[in-house]
Amino acid sequence: MAGGGGFIGSHLCKKLIDEGNMVYCLDNFITGNKNNIISLMDNPNFKLIEHDLSTPLDVIKDRIGEAHYLFHLASPASPNQKSERSYINFPIETLLVNSYGTHNLLLLAKEKNAKFLLASTSEVYGNPVLSPQPETYFGNVNPNGIRSVYDEGKRFSEAMTFAFHRKFGVDARIIRIFNTYGPFMQKDDGRVVTAFINQAISNLPMTIFGSGNQTRSFCYVEDMIEGIMKAMFTAGTDGEVINLGNPDERSILEIATMVKEMVGSQSEIVHETLPEDDPTKRKPDITKATNLLQWSPKVTLEEGLKKTIEHFRNV
């Protein structure tokens, strides 16, 4: 698992180990955190390999031995420039891990004859003119704007994955993850749910960029992990692109108000300038995941926020 020390990757490592697998977690902790996987460190079925995926894997591949499944979740993922963990502050690293990094892992998949899963993103749809977004939509992306390092990085990563699939027959699938939240997000990652919850808990102003009428749909991490597992392990997913997310679309203002009420916070809601290329709408069409994987999210926004608030109160 590349990116196993991150938010989604650490949940996936735990799930895979719970189901009896041996997991090699490769991470350089550029945006992840060792605390996410501390509970696994003494587990004999877990091995941490600290390595930059953007550099060749020759030095580590013999340590892995056989590998049957390769999950590629390694990439900075937060768009908020104010966070040190944002891809906007790691522009070159983000482009490299989605190009060289993807290439390196695909070479390993080819050599080990392993199944490959790329964690792509709804950001490949850019600022969509179509809503909800089906997998067949090609997107509306600014190729050189501030967010392009991530959006175009992931688009390149998708192209590289399918080039290996077509040219070498690598058994590969791409999932496009829509906003996901839950315990073990980093408090300072600047993503909207973490920011709102932590501002509300500390009674600090809750920052909304723009009017707050822009929409997002949030998927609880437990549901996302189930979707990722099904995308990798269900027959017939080779060569497929699958949206994974929760279609329950809400405005940012509505989410801020919900979090404020659930925390019982005295915070005031303040507005700041909307960042460049911030999408106005985001809602997955998950018809394909429902039909192909028999998957749909189960956890409501209210339940998921409750569990996430509980987590952040404890850390």
Ligand X SMILES: NC(=O)c1ccc[n+]([C@@H]2O[C@H](COP(=O)([O-])OP(=O)(O)OC[C@H]3O[C@@H](n4cnc5c(N)ncnc54)[C@H](O)[C@@H]3O)[C@@H](O)[C@H]2O)c1
9 binds ligand X (CB under 6 A): yes
CB nearer ligand X, residue 179 or residue 199: 179
State the catalytic residue, choosing from 24, 87, 150, 220: 150
Please tell me the distance from the alpha carbon of residue 212 to that of residue 77, in angstroms, as a whole number: 21
Binding residue for ligand X (CB under 6 A) from 8, 40, 95, 141?
8
CB of 129 to ligand X, least distance (A): 20
Q: Which one of 5, 79, 190, 284 is in contact with ligand X (CB under 6 A)?
A: 5
Cβ proximity to ligand X, 27 vs 152, nearer residue = 27
Residue 282 CA: distances (Å) to CA of 5, 25, 66, 192, 313: 27, 31, 39, 14, 28
Binding mask 81-110 for ligand X (x = CB under 6 A): ----------------x---x---------
Q: Find the binding residues for ligand X in span 183-242 (CB under 6 A).
A: none
One residue of 73, 88, 105, 228 binding ligand X per CB under 6 A: 73
CA-CA-CA-CA dihedral for 229, 237, 279, 102, to nearest 10: 80
Judge whether 137 counts as a catalytic residue: no
Q: Least Å distance between CB 94 and ligand X?
A: 8
Map the footprint of ligand X across residues 13-32, applying CB under 6 A: 26-32
Is residue 52 a contact point for ligand X (CB under 6 A)?
yes
Q: For residues 120 and 242, what is the distance between their CA atoms, to the nearest angstrom?
A: 10
Q: Which two tokens stand for residue 229?
A: 């597992």
Find, among 160, 55, 40, the residue nearest to 99 by Cα: 160
Report the first-to-last Cα separation within the chain, whole angstroms: 26
Q: Cβ 130 to ligand X, closest distance in Å? A: 18
Find the shortest distance in angstroms from Cβ 264 to ligand X. Answer: 26
- 157 in contact with ligand X (CB under 6 A): no
Work out which of 161, 180, 243, 246 binds ligand X, going by CB under 6 A. 180
Name the token pair of 234.
């269900």
Of the pair 228, 267, the CB lying nearest ligand X is at 228
The site for ligand X, by CB under 6 A, has a size of 29
The residues annotated with a catalytic role in the active site are 150
Interface ranges with ligand X (CB under 6 A): 2-3, 5-9, 26-32, 52-54, 73-77, 97, 101, 119, 121, 177, 179-180
